């Protein structure tokens, strides 16, 4: 008695590739969580500091603005000064706070020698922190 064969259909072949999309999704979520929580962990220590009479609240870093225009004239905090006046005023600022920063704004047309001269006056007065201010290019 012949029996008919039952035909079997071939099932799907196993996938041999790894799907990395869920892995990337999980990693991006973890990165976002770390970005948000990292600043909170840095300042998590709460202190009740003691009070003392000799302490002063922390001041923001002090700075003076020094401008050199196209003609080579120096302006300290928007007031025209001669090189001698500049030296005495910068020395007074250095005496008050040696960490005073100079924000130097020089015109493009100012000769390099004039900028170096102003920097030398500042350094001689005791101020060595000089920041050059420029406009961003468009």
Structural Rg of the chain based on CA atoms: 34
| 7-55 pLDDT, tens digit each | 677 777 777 788 889 999 999 999 999 888 877 665 444 555 556 665 5
Contacts of 14 (CB under 8 A, 6+ apart): none
Contact 78, 40 (CB under 8 A): no
99-124 tens-digit pLDDT: 888 888 888 888 888 889 999 999 99
CATH code for the structural domain at 63-132: 3.30.420.270
Residue 66's beta-bridge partner residues? 76, 104
pTM score of the predicted model: 0.53
Beta strands in the chain (DSSP E): 63-68, 74-76, 79-81, 101-106, 129-132
């Amino acid at each position: 008695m012949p029996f008919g064969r039952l035909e079997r259909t071939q099932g799907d072949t196993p996938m041999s590739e790894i799907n990395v999309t869920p892995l990337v999704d999980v990693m991006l979520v973890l990165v976002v969580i770390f970005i948000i929580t990292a600043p909170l962990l840095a300042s998590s220590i709460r202190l009740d500091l003691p009070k003392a009479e000799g302490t002063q609240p922390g001041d923001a870093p002090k700075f003076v603005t020094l401008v050199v225009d196209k003609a080579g004239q120096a302006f300290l905090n928007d007031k025209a000064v001669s090189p001698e006046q500049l030296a005495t005023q910068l020395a007074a600022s250095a005496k008050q706070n040696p960490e005073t920063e100079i924000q130097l704004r020089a015109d493009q047309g100012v000769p390099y020698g004039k900028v170096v001269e102003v920097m030398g006056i500042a350094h001689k007065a005791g101020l060595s922190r000089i920041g050059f201010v420029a406009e961003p290019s468009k």
